Amino acid sequence: MNLEAIEAVKKLLSTPQNIVIVPHKNPDGDAIGSTLALWHYLQNRGHNATIVSPNDYPKFLKWMPGNEHILNFEKENSQAKGAIHHADLIFTLDFNHLGRIGQLQPLLEESKAKFIMIDHHQAPSDYAEIMYSDVAMSSTCEMVYNFIAFLGDESKITPEMANCLYTGIMTDTGSFKFSSTTSKTHKVVAELIDKGAENTNIHNKIYDTNSPSRLHLLGCALKNMVILEEYRTAYITLSQTELDTYSYKKGDTEGFVNYGLTLEGICFAVIFIENKEEGIIKISFRSEGDFSVNEFARSHFNGGGHDNAAGGKSDVPLEESTAFFVSLLKDYKEKLNA
């Protein structure tokens, strides 16, 4: 963040404000961790802050301190609308264009509030008065830590905030292993532990909450994996019927896509998940090395994200979607084998 932006934020926050904080649709650990940490910070400074999530999120994220204050736009609709209507300031966290917030999009587009974006995805659109956008950052949680430090308030980071921020950095970096993890990330994480983040406990709460049905669903996903050695690619499919068979719950498929990358020689891993209710196939893309899945998702599947982790969707049936995907690969053969 430049000095001018920091001064502008300081001024905006110098008197109590009505503030709404919004994460992207289907929020992940980074989205929920960052919105909650910022919520605690703003509340502690005497503002009236409200988090509005576009929809529900997995149970393994619901232990975070302050979670009970998050409004789910699909369930607490009129309360959420009221908060947005009265907002002086709207923080948008962990996304950078308003197409990422589902049914919330028209409300935010109509809002007269000032927008502050904190985000680490590529190609930000320009809806925000104040943008803290940095694609080199590991996570929005690392950025919220910096944001609070820029305002001179590092010492105001409470154990609650530290637990939320640690969670988002951990989940967005694949437990500190992705290439976005820098020495600065580790320094921030060290500070967070000193400020009360219970690191071992957090790992357990996020990763060690498997149900038998989720592990069986993982078994099904791995059985369905197709390996295309000539393209150094592995993809997984899960149909709605398969999800139903294993009593799928939100969040159950988190991390499945990464198994493809654990195969020797594979640098591009994809999962296609049928969603009958929304009438789409939700797709996650992951890569190792220089192959940009952000570009691939943006070009062919109405999506985006980061160089090594992106998402998108397809409107045609599962088998057609995977056939289309495979047909694209021959144009990428060189890049995939570079």
**Binding site residues, ligand 5GP, CB under 6 A:** 24, 100, 121, 284, 303-306, 309-313
* Minimal distance, residue 261 CB to Mn ion, in Å: 18
Q: How far is the CB of 155 from ligand 5GP (least distance, A)?
A: 31
- Name 76's Cβ contacts closer than 8 Å, sequence gap at least 6: none
- Residue 147 or 256: which CB sits closer to ligand 5GP? 256
Comparing every residue's Cβ against Mn ion, the nearest one is 30
Select the binding partner of residue 251 from Mn ion, ligand 5GP, none (C-beta < 5 to 8 A, by kind).
Answer: none
Question: Could you say which of ligand 5GP, Mn ion, none residue 29 binds, taking C-beta under 5 to 8 angstroms by partner kind?
Answer: none
89-93, strands of its sheet edge to edge: 71-72, 48-53, 18-23, 89-93, 114-119, 130-133
Residue closer to ligand 5GP, measured from CB, 40 or 121: 121
The percent of the chain in helix, strand and coil, each rounded to the nearest 5, is 45, 20, 35
Nearer to ligand 5GP by C-beta: 65 or 102? 102
Residue 150 tokens read as 């820029």
State the binding partner of 174 from ligand 5GP, Mn ion, none, CB within 5 to 8 A by kind. Answer: none
Asked if residues 153 and 9 have their Cβ atoms less than 8 Å apart, the reply is: no
CB atoms within 10 A of CB 10: 12
Q: Which does 119 bind (CB under 5 to 8 A by kind): Mn ion, ligand 5GP, none?
A: none
Closest separation in Å from C-beta 55 to ligand 5GP: 13
Using rule CB under 5 A, residue 94 touches Mn ion: yes
Q: Which listed residue (9, 21, 27, 30) binds Mn ion by CB under 5 A?
A: 30
Residue closer to ligand 5GP by CB (options 150, 235) is 235
Selection from ligand 5GP, Mn ion, none that 306 binds (CB < 5 to 8 A by kind) is ligand 5GP
Q: Please name which of 279, 209, 215 lies closest in space to residue 248, comparing C-alpha atoms.
A: 215
> Residue 156 and residue 133: Cα distance in Å, rounded?
23
Tokens standing for residue 191: 């500070």
- For 85, residues 6+ apart whose C-beta sits below 8 A from its C-beta are 111
Pattern of binders to Mn ion over 152-191, x per CB under 5 A?
--------------------x-------------------
Q: Which is nearer to ligand 5GP, 17 or 139 (CB)?
A: 139
Nearer Cβ to ligand 5GP, position 239 or 284?
284
> What residues does 52 pair with on adjacent strands?
71
* Residue 304 DSSP class: E
Which residue is closest to ligand 5GP by CB? Answer: 311
Determine if 254 is a binding residue for Mn ion (CB under 5 A): no
Asked if residue 164 lies in contact with residue 23, where contact means CB atoms within 8 angstroms, the answer is: no
Rounded to an integer, what distance in angstroms lies between the CA atom of residue 310 and that of residue 287? Answer: 9
**Residue placing its CB nearer to Mn ion in the complex, 172 or 274:** 172
For the CB of residue 221, give the shortest distance to Mn ion in the complex, in Å: 23
Asked if 84 and 115 touch (Cβ cutoff 8 Å), the reply is no
Count of CA atoms in the C-beta half-sphere (13 A) of 280: 11
